[in-house]
A and B are shown apart, each in its own frame.
Chain A
Amino acid sequence: MTSKAKPRTSRTADGRERIYRHALLVRVTHWINVVCIVVLLLSGLQIFNAHARLYWGSDGAWSDPAALSISAVTRDGEAVGITQIGPAKLETTGVLGVSARDGEPERRAWPAWATLPSFKSLALGRAWHFFFAWLFVLNGLVYLAHLIATGRLRRDMLPTMAQWRNIGPSFVSHLKLHRIRGEDSKTYNVLQKIAYLAIIFLFLPLMLLTGLTMSPGMNAAAPWLLDVFGGRQSARTLHFISAFAIIGFVAIHVFEVFLQGPVNEIRSMITGWFTVEPEKKKETRDDAKA
């Protein structure tokens, strides 16, 4: 494989150009990722609900000050949900701390619709979480091996020098919610590449390593993990923060799919074929292509 490898192309019935963007392996691992991320998030929130407090350092329990906590108090006979972040306290009744279940207010950190299972079960939450964590890691390794072996990492994911120079205009273009058309749509843009690289090489490894750091067995096997993350409770807090960084990525990812053309984008992740929409009017895009 060389960096000059060109994607396969063809024409749609109405004559528009199509490129074969996503290999079968990428499509399959992508949709396995979707299932894994949903299950891991919801089962993770179930596990979090068993002790809805986050600390920094080695230890931390009920009587210790928490960096974040979700709890319920009784005020005038009514249950009130309280979310505390640092010194700030917010009333979050309805979603966090207290939420409705079968029409009745229930005291629980994350609501039933955000946890797996929806009913309270730490044991089942852990069972779901650990099974899908294995699937997610193995699936991720298959994808990563493909990315490296095919040269896609270097060819498609690393920003080019020209892209780095145009990172400012590309940022503005994103803020203006430009739809990317024509030649530019055939490659990933610089912010897109940075986002993918950050997820693959920063947040997902962080997720895995902070997860392992919570395991007392792994702590004995690899004590350096505790030093890297500043203690088991710090690792638990970082696991939570990095989960929300990944949710942020997914939110922007899905938003961009809908902005750029949901049918074409989703189809390309199912069939592999991406239709290149012609540019509406002649204008040079800010995000210069290499």
Chain B
Amino acid sequence: MTRKLELSRRAALLGLGAGALSGCDQLSEQPGFRNALQSVEGINYRLHRLLLSGPQLAREYSEADISTRFHANGTTMPNTDAYAQLMEGGFASWRLRIDGLVQQPADYSLAQLRNMPSRTQITRHDCVEGWSAIGKWKGVPLRLLLQAAGLMPEARYIVFYCADFLGGASNPNGRYYESIDLVDAFHPQTILAYDMNDQALPVAHGAPLRLRVERQLGYKHAKYVMRIEAVASYRSLYQGRGGYWPDRGYEWYAGI
């Protein structure tokens, strides 16, 4: 009798636990609840903007700290014919397009970018998955390109369109893209890198050009950048959340 009671109580507790868990799963899939959970992203973003309003730099490391192997995540070889052609030609015919809310839209060749003032930094790359790797990056400060183009007053975000598609080239929504605010866009460590560890940027890491936005997680560091657009809002782009991974539930502000 007691044992039976004991067992049924245990079963009830287990049932309660399982019920609570599956309830949480169902809650997780409700857009309203999900939005409520994700509302703290706005708090985190505003708080970080208060804390990071000055020129606070991400930590820079020494040559000795550079990771022996730097894991390449996401796309490691863009699967389009257009990219294959660019790669075959050593990216000689590649051009970086800068347009949108700017006074002077422009196209830059890789050689032109290499002739501009550069910044070299040894920084830590933190993947949202949890791992970190340290690498040396050389590139053009994004600030210089934006100053040359001349942002219009209504420009608030900088969008990066990439050459790669995740989840198959046939999926038009699979194009990788990312966006950052002007605070990060004009930050001294925000560069468009063409060299990694003193070599030309490898294809696996985003050749010929990738973004480094050092105070945010790895998925913000768009690889294979083809076009940069200044916009007032990213709501009309793709799923409207400002990036490939943000469109899939990750934070747009990835400083955490």
Contact = CB atoms under 8 A, between A and B. Distances in A.
Interface of A: 39, 42, 47-48, 50-51, 53, 55, 58-64, 113, 116-119, 121-124, 126-128, 130-131, 134, 214-223, 226, 232-233, 236
Nearest to B245: A123
B256 A232 contact: no
B147 to A, nearest CB: 22
A262 to B, nearest CB: 12
Interface string B223-242: 00000000000000000000
A32 to B, nearest CB: 16
Given A51-B131, A121-B28, A232-B126, A217 B216 contact: yes
Contact of A53 (B52, B131, B133, B250): B131
Interface in B1-51: 18, 21-22, 24-25, 28, 34, 36-41, 43-44, 48, 51
Given A116-B21, A223-B59, A134 B43 contact: yes
Contacts of A126: 128, 250-251
B38 A219 contact: no
Contacts of A117: 24-25, 28
B214 to A, nearest CB: 7
Given A116-B24, A130-B44, A232-B124, A220 B130 contact: no
Contacts of B48: 217-218, 221
A29 B48 CA distance: 27
Interface string B93-123: 0000000000000000000000000000000
Closest 10 CB pairs of A and B: A217-B255, A123-B249, A51-B130, A61-B131, A221-B51, A51-B129, A50-B129, A127-B37, A220-B56, A117-B28
B67 A59 contact: yes
Most buried by A among B43, B58, B124, B216: B124
B130 A236 contact: yes
Contact of B130 (A50, A121, A127, A134): A50
- Chain A facing B: main interface SS: helix
Contact of B38 (A64, A127, A216, A223): A127
Given A50-B129, A216-B58, A219-B59, A128 B215 contact: no
B129 A220 contact: no
B21 A215 contact: no
A63 B71 contact: yes
Contact of A134 (B40, B52, B71): B40
B255 A216 contact: yes
Contact of A123 (B132, B217, B248): B248
Interface string B126-147: 1111111110000000000000
Nearest to A130: B40
A58 B126 contact: no
Interface in B41-77: 41, 43-44, 48, 51-52, 56-59, 61, 65, 67-71
A129 to B, nearest CB: 9
Given A58-B132, A217-B52, 7 more contacts: A50-B130, A59-B134, A118-B25, A130-B37, A214-B256, A216-B215, A221-B52
